[in-house]
Structure 1
Amino acid sequence: MKPHGLEFLLFFSSWYCLGARADASPVCVIPAAGDESDDSPAIIQAFQDCGKGGQITFSANTTYYVQTVLQLHNLSNVQIDFLGTILFSTDVRYWIQHGSYYHFQNISIAMEFSGEYINIDGHSQGVIDGQGQVWYDLALGVGGLFGRPIPFSLRNANHSIARNLEIKQSGKWNFVIIESHNITADNIFISSTSDDFQANPGNLGNTDGFDTLYSDDVRITNSYINSGDDCVSFKPGSTNIYVQNLTCVNTAGIAVGSLGQYQGQFDLVENITARDIKLVSSRNGAYIKTYNGISVYYPPQGGGNGTGRVQNVLFENFYIQNITAAPVLIQQCTHWEGYNVPPCADFPATGFTFQNVTWKNFTGNTNPSVGTTVASLACSPKSNCTGFTFTDIDVRPPNGTATLSCTNIHGYDEKCQPV
């Protein structure tokens, strides 16, 4: 809306403010420099001027070159319209030294939003491009390599929405929600693909689609994820999360965890619903993973011997096509290769409780490499697995009859039959 007599243009700055709308709230449109120089100062200035009760627009048909970290904090009641493209630099040295740090797995964030009542809308044309190939080639499967930048994060955000965005070629995780409450992510298109994926799938490690971490009351809906790692991962402190209508291609599946990575730490995940999920050429279906009972090396590349509780989880209406591992899975032996990790039987995961977990209405088929196992649930002898339910598991192997395997699951025998 054209402002009423307050419009002004600051020619000596790389941003401009359109003054106030009719309701007296400020409006900022961010122009790009146009010469591939760093547009971060203009972006930061616009958020300082219009980040409270205002409207901020990234212009259509415009590329914003971002060479420095964007910590967009203390926002409130702000409308952010992503109509153009944010293109992050490939300056590996800079991002390793200057990314916005968070202690869990030493993650580094390139752009984060914090505050309350933040409304981010890409209008189905906004793009955030992490230019991740340089990181895939550098990491070579080392998922915990320090400094790999996450291009989009809601961190310490409340009552906020992100929708109609495309996030592609992330250096690490794509969209992470940290220490936030009442968050909606809707109609997000995520794609992280490596030039070398077919020959070396390992070099695309740790490029999760969505991650929730110490966050409550989150909804993730109507989205597409092609990421090479977890489609959605409910990490420690994820509570009251609702996920629906996702298509996950070349992912590791819908994951609870990994949990128990930090020795002596208690990890809670509870009240999780994931339904109406399509998984195509993914490794797992819906699964829970914890580290084993000994800490080997150090997080993020190592760890273990933590404890935790997972309760009230529903995985419902999963269609699985050409999955390459188990559609239904619990494994308590997560570890990183190369650090002389002893066998799980020697140090089983200790102090975990899993209760009221349901897999319901799973259909589709597995890849021939899986064999006939469609469910593999291995609870540590030093953990407690109760209240498990399997209903309408109709995922079929191409050869043979589907089999299920249960170990230490209360109320079930080794073939997952009720006893």
Structure 2
Amino acid sequence: MIQTSITKVEAAIARCGHFGTTVFGPGQYNITRKMTWDLVSSRVDMHGYLNFKPDPEYWLNANNTYRVIFIQDQASWFVITGHDFIVDAHASGGINGNGQTWWSFYGNRSRSDGDGRPVSLTLSNVTRGVIKDFRIEAQPFWCNAIADSKEVVYDGMYCNATNQDPLYAGQNSSVVPNTDGINTYRSDQVSLLRFDITCGDDCLAIKGNSTNIVAKDITCRGGNGIAFGSLGQYVDLPDIVDNVVMEDIKMIRLDPQVQPNMVSGVYLKTWTGTVHGSPPTGGGGGGGFVSNVVAKRVSLDRVTVPIHLYQTNGGHSGDEPSKLQFSNLTFNDWTGTSLRNTIVDIECSAAVPCPNIRFHDVDIAPPNGTAPSYKCINVASEFGLPACNATGTS
């Protein structure tokens, strides 16, 4: 197998990354330091893997990663920036994150947001970029992040965070946390197409100031499901999420020895209206809104809570209610099974009750012998689920 150093990778991009084509053949490309590709009117064909050295203590040194993702001060070891480019990995190349080394390293250590675990692939300040048929094996942390970008298409993304250490068999949710498929932040007109994500956390996470997002043909294997949030963490920075359409979504529960969790289909969460500490680990009190969200043709396999909204993330008893409002949410054509009889659990903030929550053809089977239950608290108006108490208060 061909093994090539980072120096040659960087030289190829420097030569052909503007107005050219770069081809990486099959093999391993050993990446031993942080790397940026600045691509302009160019194409990269990848048939091999960027192999990031399995050395957590090296990468956890803040000098050895970038901090281009503002939210939660996340680290990145590989950043793509620029405009009008295509990176095509032909379903035969991408990134090897050597995550097992990380997961075992953290087996008896604590983790927290912003602690320096690197995002595998970060797009930052990109306009009109395409990532196609890209594979990321064993991401140590988030598989992908996109920040401060617009008009970006991901067409074919595979991420697989599966613990292979027998010491932690059956503990994949605690051993591979934060291995999200992708986080979107401060980005507009982003398409997420043909994703296949095995992870221990959010399959997709739509974070603050993500607008005009399309997600289609998404398969989530284990983890927490598709998240909106968390939002409202930064008291002085409103979070706006507007015009998100998700369709053809599958949630698949794995063998519990591989991954014991498959929590939700879609869940939406904010911090409370009270500030507790400061980001990246604390926060709260932030405003904004989430509106015009459609999730349709969703298939569930034994999820725990199919549709869930709560506004108490990171909160304490007696906190002020969140001022971030959810409205105009539509859940259409949902099928499958739930491990609990609570199919819908919508608990909006008392300060900003949720208007126009709509359900069409929600047909999710609860466990045998139980009747489905629907909870709507602080919902100003709801359509399609007469059994959901739209006038209830917390």
With the length of structure 2 as denominator, give the TM-score of the two structures. Answer: 0.90
- Listed one character per residue, the Cα deviations across residues 108-135 of structure 1 (whole Å, up to 9, x for unaligned) are 1111110011101011111311111233
1:22 aligns to what? none
Contact kept? 2:72, 2:114, Cα under 8 Å: no
SS in 2 for 1:136: helix
In the alignment, does 2:364 pair up with 1:403?
A: no
Instruction: Give the structure 2 partner of residue 319 of structure 1.
Output: 299
Q: Tell me if 1:305 matches 2:285.
A: yes
User: Cα gap change, 1:390/1:51 in structure 2, threshold over 3 Å: closer, same or farther?
Assistant: same
Structure 1 distance, partners of 2:181, 2:200, is: 9
Select which of 190, 203, 212 maps to 2:184.
212
State which of 182, 206, 216 in structure 2 corresponds to 1:234: 206
SS in 1 for 2:80: strand
- In structure 1, stretches of 5+ residues that fail to align are 1-30, 34-38, 336-340
Q: How does 1:326-405 map to 2 (within 5 A)?
A: 326-335=305-314, 342-343=316-317, 346-367=318-339, 370=340, 372-399=341-368, 400-405=370-375
Q: Confirm whether residue 286 of structure 1 aligns to residue 266 of structure 2.
A: yes
Deviations 1:352-380 (Å, cap 9, x if unpaired)?
1211111111110012xx3x100000001
1:119 to 62, 67, 86: 86
Once structures 1 and 2 are overlaid, which stretch shifts more, 190-199 or 144-153?
190-199
Alignment of 1:222-301 (within 5 A): 222-281=194-253, 282-301=262-281
Aligned counterpart, 1:175:
144
**Quick one: distance in 2 between partners of 1:132 and 1:304?**
31
Deviates more, 1:225-234 or 1:348-357: 348-357
CA change 1:293–1:415 in 2 (3 A) is: farther
Residue 392 of structure 1 aligns with an amino acid whose one-letter code is: D
CA offset at residue 405 of structure 1?
A: 0.3
Q: Which has the higher contact order (CA 8 A, sep 6+)?
A: 2
1:199 Cα deviation (Å)?
2.9
Aligned twin of 1:51: 17
Counterpart of 1:152 in structure 2 is 121
Count of matched residue pairs: 371
What amino acid is the match of 1:286? V
Deviation of the 1:139 alpha carbon: 4.2
Q: How far apart are residue 304 of structure 1 and its match? A: 1.4
Distance in 2 (CA, whole Å) between partners of 1:204 and 1:396 is: 29
CA drift of 1:333 comes to 1.3
Aligned to 1:88: 52
Listed as ranges, the gaps of 5+ residues in structure 2 are 254-261
Q: Is the 8 A contact 2:75 2:114 kept in 1?
A: no
8 A contact 2:173–2:201 mirrored in 1: no
Structure 2 SS opposite 1:124? coil
How far, CA to CA, are the matches of 1:292 and 1:204 in structure 2? 27
Deviation at 1:417, TM superposition (A): 5.0
- Per-residue CA deviations over 1:208-250 (Å, capped at 9, x if unaligned) read 1011111100111112111111111111110000001111010
Residues 221 and 243 in structure 1, CA contact (< 8 A), matched pair in contact too: yes
Does 1:101 pair with 2:70? no
Instruction: Indicate conservation of the 8 Å contact 2:338/2:364, yes or no.
Output: yes
Residues 277, 318 of structure 1: 8 Å contact kept = yes
Q: Tell me if structure 1 keeps the 8 A contact 2:380–2:390.
A: no
Q: Aligned-pair distance for 1:59?
A: 1.2
Give the CA deviation at 1:350.
2.4
Aligned with residue 64 of structure 1, among 29, 49, 58: 29
Flag the 1:233–1:200 CA change in 2: closer, same or farther, 3 A: closer
Q: Distance in 2 between matches of 1:414 and 1:108?
A: 46
TM-score (norm 1): 0.85
Please state whether the residue corresponding to 1:265 is helix, strand or coil.
coil
Cα displacement string for residues 275-315 of structure 1 (whole angstroms, at most 9, x for unaligned residues): 11000122111121111222223322222111120010001
1:310–1:159 Cα change, 3 Å: same
Q: CA deviation at 1:145?
A: 5.1
Could you say what secondary structure the match of 2:10 adopts? helix
Contact 2:354 2:381 in 1 (8 A): no
Distance 1:126 1:216 in 2: 27
Structure possessing the higher radius of gyration over alpha carbons: 1
In angstroms, what is the RMSD of aligned CA positions?
A: 1.8
CA contact (8 A) 2:266 2:306 kept: yes
Q: Compared with structure 1, are the counterparts of its residues 259 and 197 closer, same or farther at alpha carbon in structure 2 (3 Å cutoff)?
A: farther
- Deviation per CA, 1:227-274: give whole Å up to 9, x if none: 111111111110000001111010211111110111222100000001
- Residues in 1 aligned to 2:208 and 2:34: alpha-carbon distance in whole angstroms: 26
Give the share of equivalent positions with the same residue, in percent.
29
- Matches of 1:192 and 1:253 in 2, distance apart? 15
